[in-house]
Amino acid sequence: MKSIIEYISGIYRGLRSLLIGMSVTGKYFFSPRAIVTQQYPENRHGHGKRSKKQLVMFDRFKGEVVMPHDANNQHKCTGCGICEINCPNGTIEIISVSKVGEDGKKKRAIEKHIYRLGMCSFCALCVKTCPSKALEFSQEFEHAVFDRTKLVKVLNKPGSSLMKGVE
Amino acid sequence: MSFSFDIYDFTSFTKWIDVSLTSYCTPFWAMIWEMLIIGVAILIFYAVVGLFLVYAERKVCAFIQNRVGPNRVGPYGFIQTVADLVKLLFKELVTIKKADKFLFNLAPFIVIIVNFMVIAAIPFAKGLHAVNFNIGIFYMMAVSSMGVIGILLAGWSSNNKFSLIGAMRSGAQIVSYELSVGLSMITMVILAGTMQLTNTYDPVTNQVLVHGIVDLQKDGWFIFTGHLPAIIAFVIFLIAGTAETNRGPFDFAEAESELTAGFHTEYSGIKFALFYLSEFMNMFIVASIAATIFWGGWMPFHLGHIFGDWVSGFNNVMDYIPPFVWYIGKTFVIIWIIMLFKWTFPRLRIDQLLTLEWKYLLPINLINIILMALVVLMGWHF
Ligand code: SF4
Ligand code: SF4
């Protein structure tokens, strides 16, 4: 008798769990808003013919390493070279010069922060270890170019200088 | 006889074809021509429905998984599968050394021919019916289980372990689940009291000679008039039918994860496409059988007269929808349910598959038949 009850309740439980599963998938089937696919070339500029959505990017996305500059064309890179040491691929090359500061002391300053996008593995070690938080990731992902030399970038803008208060 | 075409009743149209053909040639040649016309019509129907089902499957799967699915070729990706088929046509047909060439080439055709033989017996709309056997249901059951011969041959002749294992599994599966499919159909035959699918009329007096299953559902589909046992039979039929078509969650013959592709591992190009298409057509056939014997086939949704006199107005409104639309609509709803099965449930293990059949479906089915017999004997149905 006990086994018969178990048999029947087993059928009931099984059917119930199957129906719950089907209701979940059925709900997704009928809710087109839940679709997460981004239709890439159309949504590229947010006004493609077929795109219903703007291109959505996420903060965690690592597009390429950039050095943010403020309105006065100033950045935070002191030219310490820590990023160059930490980069596993030798992607970064720091060319620094000694400058005489306002107080008459000699000070190291960056001339070129060279970043070779083609060699970068987007590990973020440079961004994380920079003591003055001079680097960050942009969300640009369309990197294709016809000439390899275009992938070698100088991150500090021409004529830029070190932000005040950053040592 | 003048040309007449009525979307609600194809009888006069088919009769017009018959009469005009016999006026041009002898009855023998008229029959040959009619068979040819039906053959070509079914062939076109087969290709169109098959391609559409592949598309539908990909879309349904995509929506369930929060994706968009094919959307590049044509509006909403509608002709994606046509493009796929063209690609398959251009692919090389690899010949396997040491394979049994004759059987290897024969296998896909057996599968396809079996599909055609079943489709011939399906009533698509009033008067749109290739053959109307008095043992229609029995014929469908008998013929549809022959498809496994094609699968077994494919597995055997490929000279490949994976193919052979896939084919043997498919054999075990069909032997088990054919039983449940047959028994649940028999349950409905008990309720209907006939195996014929549509009415035959006396050619002179237009009297009904034999009642058909579809026409018997005029006052309510069997799933309603047969209530509890019919619903149980319907559920069992859906499960066993899904298993019989080798679809997920019962895809043991293919078993991508274990046997690469099971019985059609060695097939390429258009021969693979035939297997692929026939798999979808099997699903279509199972769905249309279910629609025919449980949901009334092309019969519009009618309420019985036990609800009062107002139902005749309602029934008239339902009659405005052409029978073919009813048939296609019902079939696709069932196909959708079967697709939902595949994309919801995890695959079973082979022992679970056999447990499900022999310990659950079969005993429930047998009890259900007795229940149905009791219901019919006592007149407890509507
Ligand atoms: S980017 Fe950061 S770590 Fe690299 S040189 Fe400049 S200050 Fe140093
Ligand atoms: S992300 Fe990694 S690989 Fe790229 S520049 Fe920074 S440290 Fe080098």
CATH number where A144 lies: 3.30.70.3270
User: What is the number of the ligand closest to the CA of A95?
Assistant: 1
Instruction: Render pLDDT for B120-154 as a digit per residue (tens, 0 to 9).
Output: 888 887 777 777 778 888 888 888 888 888 888 88
Q: How far apart are CA A52 and CA A39, in angstroms?
A: 9
Rounded CA separation B350/B92 (Å) = 34
**pLDDT tens column, B162-221:** 888 888 888 888 888 888 888 888 888 888 888 888 777 777 777 777 777 777 777 778
Q: Which atom of ligand 2 is nearest to the CA of A119?
A: 3
DSSP per-residue letters across A128-167: HH-TT---EEE-------S-GGGGEEE-SPTT-EEPTT--
Report the alpha-carbon distance of residue B273 to residue B278 in Å, rounded: 8
Please check whether residues A139 and A100 belong to one and the same domain: yes
- Whether B337 maps to a domain, the answer reads yes
Do A94 and A83 touch, CB atoms closer than 8 A? yes
> Domain check: are A15 and A73 in the same one?
no
Is A50's pLDDT higher than 50? Answer: no
CA B294, CA B305: separation in Å to the nearest integer? 20
Q: CB count, 10 Å around CB of A50?
A: 10
Phi first, then psi, for residue A69 (nearest 5°) are: -115, 145
The arithmetic mean of pLDDT across residues A28-34, rounded, is 82
DSSP secondary structure code for residue B349 in this structure: P
In a domain, B24, yes or no: no
| Nearest alpha carbon, ligand 2 atom 4 | A120
- What pLDDT does A16 receive? 92
Cβ-contact A24, A100 below 8 angstroms: no
Mean pLDDT, chain B, as a whole number?
82
Q: Is the CB of A65 under 6 A from ligand 1?
A: no
Are A72 and A151 in a shared domain? yes
Number of domains in chain A: 2
Question: Coil, helix or strand for B92?
Answer: coil
Ligand 2 centre distance from Cα of residue A125 (Å): 6
Question: What percent of chain A has a predicted confidence (pLDDT) above 70?
Answer: 91
Residue A70 lies in a domain: yes
Average pLDDT, chain A: 83
Q: Return the residue of B nearest to A33 by Cα.
A: B66
Residues of chain A numbered 10-39 and touching chain B (CB < 8 Å): 11, 18, 21-22, 24-26, 28-29, 32, 34-37, 39
CA–CA separation, A133 and A114 (whole Å): 17
Query: If pLDDT is split at 50, 70 and 90, which confidence band does B4 have?
Result: low
pTM over 0.90: no
Residues A10 and A79 in one domain: no
pLDDT at B301: 79
Supply the pLDDT for residue B2.
63
The answer as to whether B12 is a domain residue is no
Domain residues for A12? Answer: 2-37
**Complex ipTM tops 0.85:** no
Chain B 19-58, residues with CB within 8 Å of chain A CB atoms: none
pLDDT at B261 over 60: yes
Residue in chain B closest to A20 (alpha carbons) equals B344
**Mean pLDDT computed over A56-64:** 84
Residue B72's pLDDT band (cuts 50, 70, 90): confident
Residue B367 has pLDDT above 60, yes or no: yes
pLDDT at res. B1: 55
For the Cβ of A135 lying below 6 angstroms from any atom of ligand 2, the answer is no
CA distance B107 to B96: 14
pLDDT of residue A47: 55
Rounded Cα gap, residues A67 and A85, in angstroms: 17
Cα distances (angstroms) measured from residue A108 to each of A96, A99, A159, B62, B299: 7, 6, 16, 57, 89
Is residue B253 scored above 80 in pLDDT? no
Q: What is the pLDDT of residue A53?
A: 63
pLDDT value, residue A52: 60
Residue A129 Cβ inside 6 Å of ligand 2? The answer reads no
- Candidates B354, B345, B236; CA nearest to B286 is B236
Cα angle value B319/B56/B44 (rounded, 5°): 70
Cα-to-chain-centroid distance, residue B54: 15
Indicate if A72 and A29 belong to the same structural domain. Answer: no
Question: B65 in a domain, yes or no?
Answer: no
Q: How far apart are CA B264 and CA A148, in angstroms?
A: 46
Structural domains of chain B, count: 1
